[in-house]
Structures are given as structure tokens and as C-alpha cells.
């Protein structure tokens, strides 16, 4: 869990422009800082060039590098593995989200997202 007052940055990994933009608008309106990526490779590149986020919101079905490939990659990296990852995907279930803190099925409930975010990004 993030240290209160220390981290408010969230990495959103989502290939759907509308969903990504809604999540950015929602989180930024709540005072969070967001960084966005449209696939797992972009997200890995972003993690290499930014301060560690307090949370990653990750879609599973994306081009180039999907969510499972992204999770497997960061889980094998000692610097990235501690970053909490919440799966936000229509295809998320207990069988394909190992390594994450949990999953939310699309369509998402905004209040649930904000509740989870507030637990990790105070």
C-alpha cells in the first residue's frame, strides 16, 4: 500500500480511446495524476521513464503486448513487481489475473474504481 500523501500517480493501460479518456478524466477530477499507454509495451516504456506509480489499471485485450504479457514481464522484474496492478477488463477472471491485486469487469462501476484507487493512492 502506498504511503499516504506520497503517491497520486496512476498508469492507465487501455487501448480503447473512449474508456481510457473517461478513466483519465475521472481520476484527474479526483486529484490524481495519470499517465496513459495503449498497450503493454507502451506501459513498460512509460514505467522506465516515470516515477513509480501507486497503481496500474490494466486492460487484458490489447494489441502488441496484452495485459497477461505485461503482468508476466513486470512480475519478473524486482523493481516493477511491487507496483500494484488492478485488471479492468471484460475478460478478467481469477484464472488470468495472477500477479494482480484483483480485477474489475467492464463495464466498470466508477465508485468501485475510486474506492480501490483510494486504497493505493492516498
For 27-66, the pLDDT digits (tens) are: 999 999 999 999 999 999 999 888 899 999 999 888 999 9
Q: Is pLDDT larger for residue 103 or for residue 37?
A: 37
pTM: 0.88
Please, are residues 33 and 39 in contact by the beta-carbon 8 Å criterion? no
Q: What is the mean pLDDT of residues 1-26?
A: 82
Banded model confidence at residue 89, pLDDT cuts 50, 70, 90: confident
Please, are residues 56 and 101 in contact by the beta-carbon 8 Å criterion? no
Residue 24 CB partners (closer than 8 Å, separation 6+):
12, 34, 36
Task: State the pLDDT at residue 51.
Answer: 87
Alpha carbon distance 92, 71 (integer Å)? 13
Amino acid at each position: 500500500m502506498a504511503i499516504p500523501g506520497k503517491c497520486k500517480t496512476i498508469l492507465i493501460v487501455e487501448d480503447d480511446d473512449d474508456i481510457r479518456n473517461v478513466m483519465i478524466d475521472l481520476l484527474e477530477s479526483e486529484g490524481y495524476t495519470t499517465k496513459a499507454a495503449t498497450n503493454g509495451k507502451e506501459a513498460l516504456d512509460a514505467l522506465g521513464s516515470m516515477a513509480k506509480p501507486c497503481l496500474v489499471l490494466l486492460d487484458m485485450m490489447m494489441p502488441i503486448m496484452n495485459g497477461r504479457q505485461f503482468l508476466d514481464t513486470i512480475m519478473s522484474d524486482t523493481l516493477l513487481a511491487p507496483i500494484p496492478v488492478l485488471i479492468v477488463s471484460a475478460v478478467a477472471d481469477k484464472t488470468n489475473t495472477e500477479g494482480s491485486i484483483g480485477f474489475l469487469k467492464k463495464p466498470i462501476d466508477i465508485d468501485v474504481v475510486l474506492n480501490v484507487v483510494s486504497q493505493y493512492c492516498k
